[in-house]
Amino acid sequence: MSSIDFLFQGIIKAFELIFSLNPYIISITGVSIRVSGTATILATLTAIPLACGITFLNFKGKQALITLINTGMGLPSVFVGLFIFLMIVPAGPFGFLKMYYTQEAMILAQYILITPVICGISLAAIKAVPQPVIDTVYTLGGSRKDIVITMLREARFGLFTSVLAGLGRALAEVGAILIVGGNIAYTGSVGGIGEGLSYTRSLTTAITLETSKGEVSTSIALGIILISLVLSINILANFFQRME
Amino acid sequence: MRNLSVKILFVSILISIFAGCVQQAPTGNTTTPIPTASVPLELRLATTTSTCDTKLLDVLNKKFEETNNVKILTVCEGTGKAIATGELGAVDVVMVHAVDSELKAVANGSFINRSYMMYNYFVIIGPENDPAGIRNASNATEVFSKIASKQSAFISRGDSSGTHIMEKSIWKAANITPAGTWYQSNGKGMGDTIITADTKEGYTLSDRGTYLSMKDKIKLKILFESDQKYLFNPYHVMSANPVKFPNVKYDLAMKYIGYVLSPQGQDIIRNYGKDKYGEALFVPEEDAGDVTGP
């Protein structure tokens, strides 16, 4: 079988899996959305206020913090996964939380991975607001608060892009959640597509599993579902932006 | 103003999508039919890729879950990592196949009640034209010597799994330190390694079960088997030591081990794969006879 055949079979299989509403596929897609969506919401709530604080406040160690955030944008996910796993296993310092092999651990891992991404892009977006805009608010007698609000409003597209970038990285990520979540599905689907539902198996970790078994067309099908998911979020986001 | 209300509508749609997903989790889990009212217990099992990829566990665990109101959370990761996970206290029971590593982990107090549950044989697979001429070798060490002297491509698991440990012990017995471009370490599970070997038309060592479950997707054939000394592949189950890890579900782990060794569990192992592959993938301990685990 040629690789093009795999691709075609994968596309056909993707449609079969989507339109048959296969419960296993729905459950792994659900885990992907739930974990990455929650991580993105939490990361946004941390990152954007942090970016504002860095932009509008002056404090010691500001430059060091910016360097830390920029470094964090390139954190290797496997390392983050392993580090968190060692922290949360019973033999580790946070073992009492019993977070190992749970969706909460997956959310935590992705939160750590994408907070710097959202923060870094937000910083750049706020910084890119043209100086004349700020000057105008100032000359019109605007207070410090007015300047902050104006800058955030001017930077809104960039801020929005930062959230989408974070969500995109979270949905595509596999290294960290594979380690902390364990890629677990209930009996019936332990070895791949079956009757069992997902516990900590996401679209990306399922792709890893199917590829390792040589089920290439299934992997392609899952990949197509993942890409469609990201695409529809972006179309929605685009629509949202054009409403302005 | 109208603009604002549309925006609010969109934000609430987005939030409800995520919220819907968050809520879906518990309902999705609890609506699966559970005859008893009580919430099922969870048993964490770390195991090697072969028991997962062959789907043996999907069949074997089902019966246990139904009769005991238990959900088994299976982590499939290769023997080396499965034992390491157990040594961190993250699982209640492990099902693995590397005798020396198992004994070491029992000796350091991480596991107890190590029990022999089943075996099969490793097979040496390679391209049909057999460039190293291993088909007529008399034992596994001779096979490895031939591959090394011909410098034919050999793909190693390279992941400290049971299969990798067995492979290293065969090289050692053959007095060869494999090195050179022909010897490639893959660092992945059995399925991945078979696919790599298939792509590169190289040789590799595989457990029989995983090979059989993939044989329709690859061109490699079994070229050497039935060396009872070096290709013997026994599987053991053991429970995490509750003295070392007070949080593990020791009673449930023991119940599971008891089930795997019971006539019911052994019978499932005995018959698994016969309908799909024309032969059983594993031999249960009950049928082992003289073939006993070390």
Whether residue B260 has pLDDT greater than 90: yes
Q: Are B115 and B132 within one domain?
A: no
CA distance readout (Å), A142 to A49, A148, A149, A156, B181: 21, 10, 10, 20, 70
**Residue B33 in domain:** no
| DSSP-assigned letters across all residues of A51-112 | HHHHHH---TTHHHHHHHHHHHTT--HHHHHHHHHHHHSTTSTTGGG--TTSHHHHHHHHHH
Per-residue pLDDT band at B34 (split at 50, 70, 90): very low
Extract the tokens encoding A71.
């470094």
Q: In whole angstroms, what is the distance from residue B146 CA to residue B134 CA? A: 7
**Cβ partners under 8 Å of residue A170, min gap 6:** A35, A36, A39, A40, A110, A113, A114
Distance, first Cα to last Cα, chain B: 79
Whether residue B17 has pLDDT greater than 60: no
Task: Say whether B52 and A191 touch across the interface (CB within 8 A).
Answer: yes
SS3 A29: helix
Give the domain ranges of chain A.
3-242
Residues of B in contact with A101 (CB under 8 A): 44, 73, 75, 90
pLDDT at position A8 is: 87
Q: Determine the residue of chain B that is closest to A92 in CA distance.
A: B88
Total domains in the fold of chain B: 2
Consecutive H or E run containing B260: helix B250-261
**Residue B209 in domain:** yes
Dihedral angle computed from the Cα positions of residues A25, A31, A33 and A36, in that order, rounded to the nearest 10 degrees: -140
Using 50 as the pLDDT threshold, list the residues of chain A that sit under it.
none
Burial B17-30 (b: 16+ CB within 10 A, else e): ebeebbebbeebbe
Task: Say whether B71 and A187 touch across the interface (CB within 8 A).
Answer: yes
Please give the average per-residue pLDDT across B56-85, as a whole number: 94
| Residue B213 φ then ψ, to 5° | -70, -15
Residues of A in contact with B217 (CB under 8 A): 214-215
Please give the average per-residue pLDDT across B249-256, as a whole number: 96
Residues 192-221 of B with CB under 8 A from A: 192, 194-195, 213-214, 217-218
SS3 B208: helix
Contact predicate B46/A211, CB 8 Å: no
Q: Which amino acid is at B79?
A: T
Task: Say whether B76 and A183 touch across the interface (CB within 8 A).
Answer: yes
Among the three residues B224, B244, B278, which one is the final residue of a domain in this structure?
B224
Q: pLDDT tens digit string along A80-98?
A: 999 999 999 999 999 999 9
Please give the average per-residue pLDDT across B55-68, as a whole number: 94
B213: domain range? 121-224
The CA R_g of chain A, rounded to the nearest whole Å, is 21
Among B24, B73, B247, whose Cβ lies nearest the Cβ of A184?
Answer: B73
Q: pLDDT tens digit string along B123-172?
A: 999 999 999 999 989 999 999 999 999 999 999 999 888 899 999 999 99
Of A28-37, A52-61, B8-17, B276-285, the one with minimum mean pLDDT is B8-17
pLDDT at position B28 is: 39
| DSSP-assigned letters across all residues of B7-46 | HHHHHHHHHHHHHHHHHHHHHHHHSS--SSSSPPEEEEEE
Q: Are B115 and B146 within one domain?
A: no
HSE of A61 in the Cβ direction (CA atoms, 13 Å)? 3
Q: Determine the residue of chain B that is closest to A209 in CA distance.
A: B53
Q: Are B47 and B136 within one domain?
A: no
Q: pLDDT tens digit string along B192-240?
A: 899 999 999 999 999 998 898 888 889 999 999 978 888 999 999 999 9
Extract the tokens encoding B61.
């665990």
Among the three residues B204, B224, B244, which one is the final residue of a domain in this structure?
B224
Q: In whole angstroms, what is the distance from residue B120 CA to residue B285 CA? A: 10
**Residue B5 in domain:** no
Q: Are B199 and B148 within one domain?
A: yes
Q: In whole angstroms, what is the distance from residue A53 CA to residue A65 CA? A: 11
Is the minimum CB–CB distance between B20 and chain A shorter than 8 Å? no
Extract the tokens encoding B291.
């073939």
Extract the tokens encoding B53.
């990829």
Please give the average per-residue pLDDT across B179-185, as a whole number: 94
Is the minimum CB–CB distance between A166 and chain B shorter than 8 Å? no
pLDDT at position A175 is: 95
Chain A contact probe: residue of B52, B198, B243, B250 with most A CBs at under 10 A? B52
Q: Are B180 and B210 within one domain?
A: yes
Q: State pTM to two decimals.
A: 0.85
Closest CA–CA distance from residue B138 to any residue of chain A (Å):
31
Please tell me the CATH code under which domain A3-242 is placed.
1.10.3720.10
Extract the tokens encoding B263.
């006539």
Whether residue B36 has pLDDT greater than 90: no
Q: Are B180 and B218 within one domain?
A: yes
Residues 28-67 of A with CB under 8 A from B: 30, 33-34, 37-38, 41
Q: Are B88 and B173 within one domain?
A: no
Q: In whole angstroms, what is the distance from residue B45 CA to residue A121 CA? A: 41
Q: Are B196 and B186 within one domain?
A: yes
Is the minimum CB–CB distance between B161 and chain A shorter than 8 Å? no
Q: Are B194 and B250 within one domain?
A: no
Contact predicate B237/B94, CB 8 Å: yes
Q: What is the mean pLDDT of chain B?
A: 87
Q: In whole angstroms, what is the distance from residue A26 CA to residue B281 CA? A: 31
**Residue B34 in domain:** no
Q: Are B185 and B215 within one domain?
A: yes
Please give the average per-residue pLDDT across B163-192, as a whole number: 92
Is the minimum CB–CB distance between A188 and chain B shorter than 8 Å? yes
pLDDT at position B213 is: 86
SS3 B214: helix
Whether residue B45 has pLDDT greater than 80: yes
Q: How many CB atoms lie within 10 A of CB A5?
A: 11
Among the three residues B224, B254, B274, which one is the final residue of a domain in this structure?
B224
Q: How many CB atoms lie within 10 A of CB A165?
A: 18
Distance, first Cα to last Cα, chain A: 50
Helix axes A23-56, A216-242, angle to 10 degrees: 50
What percentage of chain B reaches a pLDDT higher than 90?
A: 69
CATH number at residue B149: 3.40.190.10
- Within chain A, residue ranges assigned H as helices are 3-19, 23-56, 62-72, 77-88, 103-127, 131-139, 144-154, 156-172, 175-181, 203-212, 216-242
Q: Are B144 and B182 within one domain?
A: yes
Task: Say whether A212 and B189 touch across the interface (CB within 8 A).
Answer: yes
Chain A contact probe: residue of B2, B53, B207, B244 with most A CBs at under 10 A? B53
Q: Are B72 and B132 within one domain?
A: no
pLDDT at position A6 is: 78
